[in-house]
């Protein structure tokens, strides 16, 4: 009887843990195609640093010229979830 109760408890815990980690309904945050296109265009057109990464001040200026200004604060509700 104790083994059955223990097995049931473990199975219930695993089920609850899986349900808690399920993705939100609606598929998560929506992608902005215009933003993605601007990011690709700017990163391809600006000067890279010695590590091959785009110069961030030039990247910010390019994105601002395309109508996307870098936010001064993180979004309300905290940072976006990892693993996107």
Give CA–CA dist 51/74, Å, rounded: 27
Note the pLDDT of residue 30. Answer: 74
pLDDT in tens, 10-25: 777 766 666 556 666 7
Break the chain into its structural domains and give their ranges.
33-68
Q: What is the pLDDT of residues 56-74, one digit of tens each?
A: 888 899 999 999 988 887 7
Check if the beta carbon of residue 54 is closer than 8 Å to that of residue 46.
yes
Classify residue 7 by burial, with Cβ atoms within 10 Å: 0-12, 13-18, 19+: exposed
CB 43 within 8 A of CB 63: no
CA atoms within 13 A on the CB side of 78: 3
Note the pLDDT of residue 66. Answer: 93
Q: Is the pTM of this model over 0.85?
A: no
């Amino acid at each position: 009887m104790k083994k059955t109760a223990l097995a049931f408890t473990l199975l219930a815990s695993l089920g609850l843990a899986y349900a808690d980690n399920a993705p939100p309904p609606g598929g998560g945050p929506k992608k902005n195609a215009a933003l993605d296109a601007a990011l690709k265009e700017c990163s391809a057109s600006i000067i890279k640093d010695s590590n091959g990464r785009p110069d961030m001040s030039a990247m910010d200026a390019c994105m601002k010229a395309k109508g996307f200004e870098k936010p001064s604060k993180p979004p309300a509700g905290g940072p976006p979830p990892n693993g996107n």
